[in-house]
């Protein structure tokens, strides 16, 4: 338990790629955050039609659960097995990407479990609480299928990391059994930005992916008419007592590092069994880049190991293997 700053060597190839990413990605992200609704709608459609990954042993299919569309990874028919509910990131703006599906599939393959990744409603057309409502409905859908709460793991990256805490708040508020554990990858923990640590500004030139100036635009679009300090929007301000074991990952170079660390500190203060690993140099939500950065594969292995400790019935098969992914056309 606790917060650990990992001393992981980052190879020269990865460092070169990070330098290139820092030059290219933040301007692209800023342009996306500033785009018109019409342009964003085209971008969302383009992401949805990208080829799916092909991970041997893990089928991927589009399916509606409890009227919530999404991707099923693996087989949900055996409800005696554990299951993952993965809330994808994308700044509340983008649908699940090829990277989300491939990382989730590798995670499921390593544990011998299935997952559901809901296609929750997105901004700018659907601000809070629409997306969180859909995620809550997806959790209910898994329980209605017959999965026991103690065999469910919640996973969220970036905006999805924000959503899993909002979801757990609703689960507790409605007196529904909690999942076995939760994993938050680079969670966005404070949308109101009332808490604005100096390091947030200091890291703006080191973050290889996220532009600092995009955060207020995205937060405003997602919050809508609701104050950004609302606990369902800013987990940093929610009551954390009673949550299941939590594993939080972040990078030392991302502008959201303090979101992750301070959220972990608050979880620990609230008596939640908490592990927080801060990795050097890698980009925001780096486990999703396991096909690009070899170091990120170790983080994915650690997610698997955390799940094995807290989710009964998980049986590791093979660890994520690089080079197993091949393009596959999306279903029409």
- Run of H or E residues at 199: helix 198-202
Contact 167, 86 (CB under 8 A): no
Catalytic residue among 14, 102, 110, 158: 158
Contact 2, 274 (CB under 8 A): yes
- Run of H or E residues at 260: helix 257-269
Catalytic residue among 254, 290, 295, 302: 254
Catalytic residue among 71, 88, 284, 310: 284
Our answer to whether residue 158 is catalytic in this structure is yes
Nearest by Cα to 302 from 316, 312, 281 = 316
Residue 80 burial (CB count, 10 A): 9
Nearest by Cα to 299 from 4, 56, 1 = 4
- Run of H or E residues at 135: helix 130-145
Q: Would you give the DSSP letter of residue 36?
A: -
Our answer to whether residue 310 is catalytic in this structure is no
Q: With the C-alpha atoms ordered 115, 121, 124, 129, is the resulting torsion angle positive or negative?
A: negative
Q: With the C-alpha atoms ordered 289, 245, 222, 201, is the resulting torsion angle positive or negative?
A: negative
Query: What positions carry a catalytic annotation?
Result: 158, 254, 284
């Amino acid at each position: 338990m606790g917060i650990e700053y990992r001393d992981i060597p980052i190879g020269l190839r990865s460092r070169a790629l990070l330098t290139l990413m820092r030059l290219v990605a933040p301007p692209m992200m800023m342009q996306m955050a500033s785009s018109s609704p019409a342009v964003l709608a085209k971008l969302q459609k383009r992401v949805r039609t990208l080829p799916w990954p092909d991970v041997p042993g893990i089928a991927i299919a589009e399916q509606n659960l409890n009227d919530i569309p999404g991707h099923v990874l693996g087989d949900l028919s055996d409800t005696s097995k554990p299951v993952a509910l993965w809330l994808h990131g994308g700044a509340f703006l983008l649908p699940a990407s090829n990277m989300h599906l491939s990382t989730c599939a590798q995670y499921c393959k390593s544990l011998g479990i299935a997952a559901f990744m809901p296609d929750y409603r997105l901004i700018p057309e659907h601000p809070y609480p629409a997306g969180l409502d859909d995620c809550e409905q997806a959790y209910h859908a898994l329980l209605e299928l017959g999965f026991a709460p103690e065999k469910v793991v919640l996973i969220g990256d970036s905006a999805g990391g924000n959503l899993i805490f909002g979801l757990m708040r609703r689960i507790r508020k409605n007196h529904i059994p909690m999942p076995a554990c939760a994993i938050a990858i680079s969670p966005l923990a404070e949308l109101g930005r009332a808490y604005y640590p100096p390091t947030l500004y200091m890291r703006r030139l080191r973050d290889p992916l996220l532009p600092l100036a995009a955060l207020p635009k995205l937060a405003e679009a997602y919050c809508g008419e609701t104050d950004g300090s609302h606990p369902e929007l800013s987990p940093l301000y929610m009551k954390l007592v009673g949550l299941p074991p939590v594993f939080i990952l972040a990078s030392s170079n991302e502008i959201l590092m303090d979101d992750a660390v301070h959220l972990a500190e608050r979880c620990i203060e609230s008596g939640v069994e908490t592990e927080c690993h801060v990795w050097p140099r890698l980009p925001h939500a780096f486990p999703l880049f396991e096909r690009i950065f070899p170091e990120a594969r170790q983080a994915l292995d650690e997610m698997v190991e955390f799940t094995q400790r807290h989710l009964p019935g998980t049986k590791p098969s093979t660890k994520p293997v690089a080079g197993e992914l091949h393009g596959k056309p999306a279903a029409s």
